[in-house]
Amino acid sequence: MEAVLDISELRRRGRRVCILGFGRSGLGAARLLLAGGVAVRLLEREVDDVRRAAWERLGQQGAQLRAGPHDAEALEGAALLIRSPGVPADAPILEAARERRIPIRAELALAAAQIHTPLLAVTGTNGKSTTTAWAAHLLRRAGLPGVAAGNIGRSLSQAVLEEPEGAIFVAEISSFQLEDCPELRPHSAAILNIAPDHLDRHGSLEAYRASKWSLARNQTGDDWLVLGESVRPPAGLQPAARVARFAHEDPGGACAAFVAGEQLVYREGQHAAALIERRALSLPGPHNLANALAAVCLVAPLVKERRALARGLRDFPGLPHRLEPAGEVGGVRFVNDSKATNVESLRVALQSFPEPVVLIAGGLDKGGQFEAIGDLVAERVRHLVLVGAAAERLRRAWPNVPAQRAEDFRDAVRRALAAADGSGVVLLSPGCASFDLFRDYEERGAVFKALVAELAGAGARGETA
């Protein structure tokens, strides 16, 4: 283990760790370090009322707390700086840390260094959360202690702190987290797909692709690398790990998961096993078929009983905020796809409904190429309700669809219900980040469901929506 990430060594030498950013990852890192007896200094520009109680509890446990703008003095005595994913690489305090040669790491790198079981990791543009959760579910159906963590919700540090010894972690990892994980070496890693996303942060598709491929840089021939059908290594990079590919049709290669006839098949070497019929898969849609095949490849090195894989493919319940039924109001179905924070996720959502939908879209634009799905939007959307900072950007990208601008999120839901006119689907699939109006996509989805429930209650009472 790298000494800078060894909690026992940090404690023994009396070293301090600074944590920059007090979101979910910063909180998890602080708790993990404090539990290991390491001195912690938390740095956050502003602590809101929602997080204040947790902030103050850490102070009671011995952490130094510093809120407000931070200069280089805040780094005094630090042996390590943990950067939260939302902190941009050019933040002045990070420049100061580099000048002082203070190592900068992601919370996930700290947590991974404490894990002594095979680590499974998932990255990509779309499908990460479902694949991560499905892989953990497959492990549990095989009798193994699979735990999903990381960018999916609970930080990996928090999971390491809470789960018993021997847990097998499946970590969803974002490109932001991978920027500060130079030592990371998953036993089984998946790069699902790569499409333009977060270009406002990475600057170019090439830089974004390189960040994803860094997941595989430390793997050896004892490890596994799972790749989507269209995922190819950057020029000059030859993966050292054993490669397994997944695709709707046989992609070739020694190891693969694919569909043959109507059967999901996993092949390793000369041995191919039919798992279940495609129609028996617990979640519908071609995107979920891809997620399932990826999850099979990811866990197959640890799960030799193929019947266990079949069980887990049949009964995985899915995740909230991903094409989640959100209720019905006056004959109109509402669907919560708040997790769709980019163009490709929005594309998948629109392809999942045979009938035209009323689409609620918008939020914080991440540099998405919305024009690329203009024809699909014109074909599948009968009315647009646009909300948030990107509303005008989307209006210009999709000029051929009837649209209106909502004043706020509540107004967006009411306008969408009116536009549906008693039938069909209202789909929240924003195609944008949530940070202009909400803390995260989960809060956005929860508010959407609450507003739908409110409208349903009003309708049941005979009130005007």
Segment 368-427, tens digit of pLDDT: 899 999 999 999 999 999 999 999 999 999 999 999 999 999 999 999 999 999 999 999
pLDDT at position 3 is 76
Residues 126 and 94 in one domain: no
Q: Band the pLDDT of 311: cuts 50, 70, 90.
A: very high
| CATH number, position 79 | 3.40.50.720
Domain contains 44: yes
Higher pLDDT, 122 or 236: 122
What tokens does 428 get? 């929240």
Q: Band the pLDDT of 354: cuts 50, 70, 90.
A: confident
Residues 140 and 34 in one domain: no
User: Rounded mean pLDDT of 306-324?
Assistant: 92
Cβ neighbours of residue 193 closer than 8 Å, sequence gap 6 or more = 124, 125, 126, 127, 228, 230, 231, 344
CA–chain centroid gap for 127, Å, is 8
Domain contains 463: no
pLDDT at position 88 is 87
What tokens does 33 get? 């370090």
User: Rounded mean pLDDT of 248-271?
Assistant: 95
| CATH number, position 245 | 3.40.1190.10
How far is residue 393's CA from residue 413's CA, in Å, rounded to a whole number?
20
Task: Look at residues 58, 190, 46 and name the one whose alpha carbon lies nearest to residue 121.
Answer: 190
Helix (H, G, I), strand (E, B) or coil at 450: helix
Strand order in the sheet with 357-361: 324-329, 332-336, 425-428, 357-361, 381-386, 403-405
Residues 271 and 376 in one domain: no
Q: Band the pLDDT of 460: cuts 50, 70, 90.
A: low
Residues 149 and 233 in one domain: yes
pLDDT at position 186 is 98
**Total domain count, the chain:** 3
Residues 308 and 336 in one domain: no
Residue 1 has pLDDT above 60, yes or no: no
Domain contains 9: no
- Beta carbons of 32 and 10 less than 8 angstroms apart: no
Residues 31 and 124 in one domain: no
In whole angstroms, how far apart are CA 13 and each of 5, 7, 42, 333? 13, 10, 20, 59
pLDDT at position 48 is 85
What tokens does 134 get? 């499905």
Cα-only R_g, the chain: 23
Domain contains 6: no
Supply the range of the domain harboring residue 46.
Answer: 14-102
DSSP secondary structure, 91-151, as one string: -HHHHHHHHTT--EEEHHHHHHTT--S--EEEESSSSHHHHHHHHHHHHHHTTS-EEEEET
- Beta carbons of 198 and 137 less than 8 angstroms apart: no
Residue at which a domain ends, from 315, 347, 364: 315
pLDDT at position 202 is 67
Domain contains 301: yes
User: Rounded mean pLDDT of 14-41?
Assistant: 96
How far is residue 26's CA from residue 44's CA, in Å, rounded to a whole number?
10
Q: Band the pLDDT of 69: cuts 50, 70, 90.
A: confident
| CATH number, position 391 | 3.90.190.20
Residue 164 has pLDDT above 70, yes or no: yes
Q: Tokens 């509890």 label which residue?
A: 57
Residues 241 and 344 in one domain: no
Residues 161 and 199 in one domain: yes
- Beta carbons of 217 and 192 less than 8 angstroms apart: no
- A 10 A CB-CB count for 375 gives 11
Residue 278 has pLDDT above 90, yes or no: yes
Which secondary-structure segment (H or E) carries 291?
helix 286-299
User: Rounded mean pLDDT of 47-73?
Assistant: 92
pLDDT at position 201 is 67
Q: What is the pLDDT of residues 179-207, one digit of tens each?
A: 999 999 999 999 999 886 666 666 688 88
In whole angstroms, how far apart are CA 2 and each of 7, 19, 30, 38, 78? 10, 18, 19, 16, 16
pLDDT at position 86 is 85
pLDDT at position 67 is 92
Residues 350 and 306 in one domain: no
Q: Which amino acid type is present at position 297?
A: C
How far is residue 65's CA from residue 56's CA, in Å, rounded to a whole number?
8
Domain contains 404: yes
Q: What is the pLDDT of residues 32-47, one digit of tens each?
A: 999 999 999 999 988 8
pLDDT at position 97 is 97
Residue at which a domain ends, from 102, 136, 170: 102
What's the full length of the chain, in residues?
465
Cβ neighbours of residue 282 closer than 8 Å, sequence gap 6 or more = 313, 314, 315, 316, 317, 318
How far is residue 190's CA from residue 34's CA, in Å, rounded to a whole number?
32
| Helix (H), strand (E) counts: the chain | 17, 20
Q: Are strands 324-329 and 332-336 parallel, antiparallel or unpaired?
A: antiparallel
Residue 213 has pLDDT above 90, yes or no: yes
Whole-number average pLDDT of the chain: 93
Angle (nearest 5°) at CA 44 between 41 and 110:
55
Domain contains 131: yes
The DSSP call for residue 261 is T
How far is residue 38's CA from residue 196's CA, in Å, rounded to a whole number?
39
Residue 465 has pLDDT above 60, yes or no: no
Burial readout 223-239 (b: 16 or more C-beta within 10 A, e: otherwise): bbbbbbbebeeeeeeeb
How far is residue 257's CA from residue 274's CA, in Å, rounded to a whole number?
10
The DSSP call for residue 348 is H
pLDDT at position 198 is 66
Residues 271 and 358 in one domain: no
User: Rounded mean pLDDT of 228-255?
Assistant: 94
Residues 160 and 214 in one domain: yes
Domain contains 335: yes
Residue at which a domain ends, from 102, 134, 165: 102
Residues 138 and 52 in one domain: no
